[in-house]
Amino acid sequence: MSKTYLRPRNRRRVAKLAALLLAGVMGGTVWWAARPFRSGAQSPGPEAVGIHKVEGAVWRPERGDLLFVGVLGSDNRSGPPNAGGGCDAVHIVAINPQLRAGTILNFPRDSYLEGRKLTDICRSAGFAAGVDVLRRHTGLPIHFWAQTEFSNFMALIDALGGIEVNVPQAMNDWRSGAFFSPGPTHMLGGHALAFTRNRYDAPGGDFGRTTNQGVLIQAALQKFRNESTDPHRIFDYVKVARRHTTLDLPIGDLIKLAWLAREIDPAAMVNVTVPGSTGSAGAASVVFLSPGDTYDRVRSDAIY
């Protein structure tokens, strides 16, 4: 049996190539791991993030109507969410304006609804379709829905100067880039994204991740409330929203939503993850939801 024999010159060439290859792999790994912190990278344009009014929905806060808002985050790294992105974060925010309180309902992205995973429904049929499925499943009259995706999510938080999040437990997850000690933490966009994406180091995996996303929503409400005691400052938020999102709703409705957000005490918003269990549907790993009376309780007065 003969051995492969390389001349010394060729051995040096191979060594250099191997070193370059290794450097490329290591650099790529570092670049990939650092992606949550690359704020402002390739903004996909205003259509990627938006607030929309559900067609036919009527919300009359002057009559004391309850409010239900869908909040969905795309797992699309760049480009509009409807161009191939799935629902990576799914929530319904329910508010009782008279009581200034409400509920944040959190849904695992692999929730199995109408024979499909919710994230796949969003990916193939669009986020509006995902909202429709949620409305049918929960029986909650969703009036508006907000969508976001990675880069615009980060840009929004950066534009507002960051956000204070009460991290519920220590996190050390290299996959998401979530490295936090428990307690109040000032987060810029990249940190906030890592916090909301961490599922390998969150109690309950995907359930824990979606619960933490609800924590972020509460933090956002608190920030807005703190900064809008001067009513004129609300326009700073509208300006940022206009710059980074599509606002597909009447301006009067937007102002009313801002009023409501200003008045709500985030501590009075109950963060609830819809219970369920993991399983399989065919070859897919899914979550079968077991809401019990969750939706009935929220439907009656928006309070869990």
Partner 1 sequence: MSGRKILIAVSAFLAVVAVAGGAAFFLLRGAGFGPFKPPPPPPPPPDASFQALEVRASDAAERPEAGQVATDSSQKVIALLNDYYTLAFLRPQRWTPDPSPSPGEKTIEETITEYFLPETQASIAERIGALSLAELGGRFERVNPVRQEAQVISFHIEHDVSAPVAVATIYFEGSGTTKDKKEGPVTIVHTATYWMLAVGDTYRILGYEVEFKADTVKETAAFGLVGSRGPR
**Please, where are the H alpha helices in 179-293?**
189-197, 206-227, 234-244, 251-263
**Sole binder of partner 1 in the list 224, 262, 271, 294 (CB under 8 A):** 262
**Sole binder of partner 1 in the list 242, 279, 280, 285 (CB under 8 A):** 242
Under DSSP, is residue 166 helix (H, G, I), strand (E, B) or coil? strand
How far are the Cα atoms of 21, 29, 75, 144 from residue 189, in angstroms, in the given order?
Answer: 32, 21, 15, 24
The answer to the question of residue 251 lying near partner 1 (CB under 8 A) is: yes
d(C-alpha 47, C-alpha 247), whole Å:
9
**Sole binder of partner 1 in the list 3, 7, 9, 232 (CB under 8 A):** 232
How far are the Cα atoms of 63, 99, 127, 163, 249 from residue 114, in angstroms, in the given order?
Answer: 34, 34, 15, 36, 28
Relative to beta strand 144-148, strand 67-74 is parallel
Which has the closest alpha carbon to 252: 70, 71, 60?
Answer: 60
d(C-alpha 74, C-alpha 72), whole Å:
7
The answer to the question of residue 200 lying near partner 1 (CB under 8 A) is: no
Q: Which stretch binds partner 1 (CB under 8 A): 79-87, 107-115, 126-134, 262-270?
A: 262-270
Cβ proximity to partner 1, 136 vs 242, nearer residue: 242
Q: Which stretch binds partner 1 (CB under 8 A): 27-35, 81-89, 217-225, 227-235?
A: 227-235
**Residues in binding contact with partner 1, number by CB under 8 A:** 25
- Binding to partner 1 by CB under 8 A, coded x per residue (else -) over 29-68, reads -------------------------------xxx------
The answer to the question of residue 238 lying near partner 1 (CB under 8 A) is: yes
Under DSSP, is residue 247 helix (H, G, I), strand (E, B) or coil? strand
The interface with partner 1 within residues 66-125 (CB under 8 A) comprises 97-98, 100
The answer to the question of residue 229 lying near partner 1 (CB under 8 A) is: no
Structure token digits, residue 152: 């615009």
Q: Which residues pair with 138 in a beta bridge?
A: none
d(C-alpha 145, C-alpha 240), whole Å:
18
CB of 206 to partner 1, least distance (A): 33
CB of 217 to partner 1, least distance (A): 18
The answer to the question of residue 160 lying near partner 1 (CB under 8 A) is: no
**Sole binder of partner 1 in the list 37, 179, 200, 259 (CB under 8 A):** 259
Q: Are 133 and 296 in contact (CB under 8 A)?
A: no
The answer to the question of residue 302 lying near partner 1 (CB under 8 A) is: no
Structure token digits, residue 223: 């920030």
Structure token digits, residue 238: 């509208």
CB of 58 to partner 1, least distance (A): 12
Binding site for partner 1 (CB under 8 A): 60-62, 97-98, 100, 231-232, 234-236, 238-240, 242-243, 251-252, 255-256, 259-260, 262-264
